[in-house]
Structure 1
Amino acid sequence: MGDNSTSDIIINKSATSHIGAVDFENLSFGNTFTDHMLVCDFRNGAWEKPVIKPYEPFLIDPSAKVFHYGQAIFEGMKAYKDTNDDVWLFRPEENFDRFNKSAERLAMPSVPEEVFIGGMKKLIEIEKEWVKKGLGNSLYIRPFMIAIGSGVIAAPSTQYRFMIILSPARSYYSGEVKVIIAEHYSRAANGGIGAAKAAGNYSAQFYPTKLANEMGYQQIIWTDDATHTKLEEAGTMNVFFRINDTLYTAPVSERILDGVTRKSIIELAARENIKVEVRPVLVSELIEAADNGSLKEIFGAGTAAVINPIVGFSYQDKYHELPKLENSMALELKEKLTNIQYKVAEDTFGWTVKI
């Protein structure tokens, strides 16, 4: 990446801050937002000047294409503060690249680097006090783009709005996670938008996940749409399986999101001499490994939780409990990865970027 700083930005600071009214010890993930947001509109074939302004609702035409045809994409990132009060991003170029791949797939304009990363840095600079020190504390970053052009004709919009909002976050913990393997519903299909971080991918998961919740499971392990024999993702996360001392995870494809945490775990595991196989993983393999005792761990990987261990899974009405391990590979990798993010351990990969 080149120089992504930007001075061509309008800054309208809030007259007051509500940071003093926030209980940082009892944050509900994604429900509290900082004082400012970044807004940049695309009109007449070009991006206008980005603006940092007070966080507030905005008016939009009822016929805006985002409501009718779902042109909406987003990213999820975090900023971390080290013991010296410096703030760091984690692999922002990966999110920037993926965002524009999502934009291309949904026929939306690409966002310039100086707006996406340069604007993000300036916004976080202004909101630096919202990033709290200490392992588990972070600032969740949500860049997104929506179609704001009006009219209900089924065609791509000609006007778009790119925004960044920020939300202080505590350590993400969802308790014990039990999953059910999908036999009918699919997260994505070949030729579809599964590899894009599109809003519609997530809304389509809500109903089958609701059914799983009613059965006592927190998430679904999604399978391929054609045969339902290949294991793909867990809930909204990439998924890893530890059989004996090897980690297995599905390759990215048109159906599977190219997760930043996923690729970081693969690189980190290689450094730690942990064997990883990136290949299609069959449901039948998982059942066999669970039955013969070689299945040791399953865990999801994503920005919010980093790594989320799974304690058991159900398939065809049979529940398989995973062993409770003293030496969990998932927790070991999570510790090593978060130590890099918080600058507790040396970043030998060059993943962290200082604000």
Structure 2
Amino acid sequence: MKNVPLAIDVVEAKASRIDSVDFENLIFGNVFADHMMECDYIDGQWQNPVIKPYGPIQLDPSAKVFHYGQAIFEGMKAFKDDEDQVWLFRPKANIERFNKSSVRLAIPEFPEDLFLEGLETLLDMDRDWVKKGFGNSLYIRPFVIATERGVSASPSKTYKFMIICSPAKAYYSGEVRVFFADKFSRAADGGVGYAKAAGNYGAQFYPTNLAKEEGYQQIVWTDANSHEYLEEAGTMNIFFRIGDKLITAPTSDRILDGVTRRSVLKLAEEFGIEAEVRRVKVSEVVDAASKGELKEIFGSGTAATINPVRGFGNKGEKFELPQLEDSYAAFFKKKLMEIQYNKAEDKFGWRHLVKRS
């Protein structure tokens, strides 16, 4: 979308809360930076963008987000290099996907230029919340919710766009094991699986809780029709290494087009690692594991970056994966983080500098 001539109002917090935060013992998504961005869609246009102190918002009990689930979000991160410069990683890709999700949920697209300007202003104000060092970042959560009063089953006429930020360390701690879904489904053909719709995640919680009772941290979802093909994990795209070949499922209207996933595939191409994007059968992965040919499974996503999987379960069988010194997971994570933290050349133009005001 083209730029709109909207000036962003800025209201600074009277005092920062940063000194009360223990940055060495963060729980993901529980602590938030001093400021947030807010903008409302009223009378057919986005208006009144403001950056103000982080705090509660007020909504009518009949706001349509509560009744019909019109809500989408994105996940992004900011990183700080050794020179105290703050960087975003491929922000335009996230903004494009944000608006793609909006269209699918009948939400008005948000102007890309205003999105990026607001985000840069917000990060410049709260740059002290972005800590140096590999693994440290500021997680960024842009979202839109439907705010119109009324319980008629129709798209809202008003919306609220917001960006909130949370200092983060590793998303997962400890070893991760996954369960291959054989009953429940995440998404179906023609649905909203490719969108970052809030309801996609809410619908996962029950089957994921069942998997956790069996000792698994995540589910790898399969196709809704036959449960024969592996698609993506609960919060990550998923990769399989069989021999020295990397395999991942193609994106579709069921699978999220992950920015980290795209980056891994580009890096694989750059460094001569054979990668196939194709449908992956459960039976293929089980067979490879049984023969000792399945070397790795790892997930990719903004929150987790690259997360190795130690084992998986399928129809009552459990499989453990070898621990490799030269794992692809470690290789890709290192390469990505070197770019994100400005420690390596960025051949692809993925880094975006947050300028100081």
Q: Calculate the TM-score normalised by the size of structure 2.
A: 0.97
**Structure 1 letter corresponding to 2:234:** G
Q: Which position in structure 1 is the counterpart of 2:255?
A: 256
Q: Which position in structure 2 is the counterpart of 1:223?
A: 222
Q: Which position in structure 1 is the counterpart of 2:335?
A: 336
The runs of 4+ residues in structure 1 deviating greater than 6 Å are 4-7
- Evaluate the alpha carbon distance shift between residue 240 and residue 167 of structure 1 in structure 2; reply closer, same or farther with a 3 A threshold: same
What is the CA deviation profile of residues 150-180 of structure 1, one whole-angstrom value per residue up to 9, with x for unaligned ones?
1000000000000000111123332111111
1:5, CA displacement in angstroms? 11
Q: Which position in structure 2 is the counterpart of 1:146?
A: 145
Aligned 1:96-111 pairs, distance under 5 A: 96-111=95-110
Q: Secondary structure at 1:48's aligned position in 2?
A: strand
Aligned 1:1-355 pairs, distance under 5 A: 8-355=7-354
Query: What is the distance in 2 between the residues matched to 1:88 and 1:27?
Result: 21
Query: What is the distance in 2 between the residues matched to 1:191 and 1:174?
Result: 35
Query: What is the distance in 2 between the residues matched to 1:88 and 1:182?
Result: 37
Residue pair 1:6, 1:119 contacting (<8 A) in 2 also? no
Residue pair 1:39, 1:162 contacting (<8 A) in 2 also? yes
Query: What is the distance in 2 between the residues matched to 1:169 and 1:71?
Result: 27
Identity of aligned residues (%): 61
Unpaired runs of 5+ residues, structure 1, are: none
- Evaluate the alpha carbon distance shift between residue 153 and residue 7 of structure 1 in structure 2; reply closer, same or farther with a 3 A threshold: closer
What is the CA deviation profile of residues 200-239 of structure 1, one whole-angstrom value per residue up to 9, with x for unaligned ones?
0000000000000011111111000001000001221100
- What is the aligned length? 354
Residue pair 2:6, 2:49 contacting (<8 A) in 1 also? no
1:349, CA displacement in angstroms? 0.8
RMSD: 1.4
What is the CA deviation profile of residues 117-145 of structure 1, one whole-angstrom value per residue up to 9, with x for unaligned ones?
11000110111111111111111000000
**Structure 2 letter corresponding to 1:250:** A
Residue pair 1:6, 1:114 contacting (<8 A) in 2 also? no
Unpaired runs of 5+ residues, structure 2, are: none
Residue pair 1:246, 1:276 contacting (<8 A) in 2 also? yes
Q: Calculate the TM-score normalised by the size of structure 1.
A: 0.98
1:6, CA displacement in angstroms? 7.9
Query: What is the distance in 2 between the residues matched to 1:254 and 1:62?
Result: 32
**Structure 1 letter corresponding to 2:26:** L
Residue pair 1:87, 1:128 contacting (<8 A) in 2 also? yes
Query: What is the distance in 1 between the residues matched to 2:37 and 2:280?
Result: 41
What is the CA deviation profile of residues 238-294 of structure 1, one whole-angstrom value per residue up to 9, with x for unaligned ones?
000000001000000010000000000000111110011000000111111111111
Residue pair 2:218, 2:234 contacting (<8 A) in 1 also? yes
1:78, CA displacement in angstroms? 0.2
1:189, CA displacement in angstroms? 0.5
Q: Secondary structure at 1:333's aligned position in 2?
A: helix
Residue pair 1:6, 1:118 contacting (<8 A) in 2 also? no
What is the CA deviation profile of residues 75-120 of structure 1, one whole-angstrom value per residue up to 9, with x for unaligned ones?
0000001111110000000000000000000000000012211100
Query: What is the distance in 1 between the residues matched to 2:323 and 2:136?
Result: 27
